[in-house]
Amino acid sequence: MRPFTEQSQIYLALENSECEDYITEKFWNNGLSKNIVPIVYGTTRKDYEKVAPPNSFIHVSDFKNMTDLADYIKYLDQNDTAYNEYFEWKKYGFVEHYNRYQLHSAKDFLCGIAKKLMQVDDLVLRSGKPHWKFWMLKIGAASCHHRKSIWSS
């Protein structure tokens, strides 16, 4: 696979299934951590909006068909103002990307998370804790829908 360059403006972060609460690592690693707008498909727009910076991605479900999506990409290519709106969120924060080679140990990873949590002013805590067994059983079960085409139901 060829490396990304500054000339890349979009990245297709597409999954072959629509799974509730699953967002591909490609969204973070190849999209938001670089100056590239990710075009996403997998889970719903609502699930992306729960965790992604505002107005930071394009969801294929926003378009009736591939032609409309292609026309929008062409529009962004010709309109720097519209394209740059996808990076407004960077004025308020950033996405930190870790790859497996940067993580020397679980201790380093957990310490990094703890440091980040201590820096958060308005941390929203949810009651209860997720049960990993329930989450793992959800994946691949009724929470995933395999489709023949992005625009088919």
For residue 78, what is the domain's CATH number?
3.40.50.11660
Where is mean pLDDT largest: 24-28, 59-63, 104-108? 59-63
pTM: 0.69
Whether residue 83 sits in one domain with residue 19 = yes
Residues 55 and 120 in one domain: no
Please identify, among 63, 91, 119, the residue that sits at the C-terminal boundary of a domain. 91
Write out pLDDT tens, residues 6-16.
Answer: 567 888 988 87
Domain limits at 84? 10-91
For 22-56, the pLDDT digits (tens) are 888 888 888 888 889 999 988 889 989 988 999 99
Count structural domains, the chain: 2
First to last CA, the chain: 31
User: Comparing C-alpha atoms, which of 18, 17, 61, 22 is closest to residue 39?
Assistant: 61
Regarding whether 126 and 62 lie in a shared domain, the answer is no
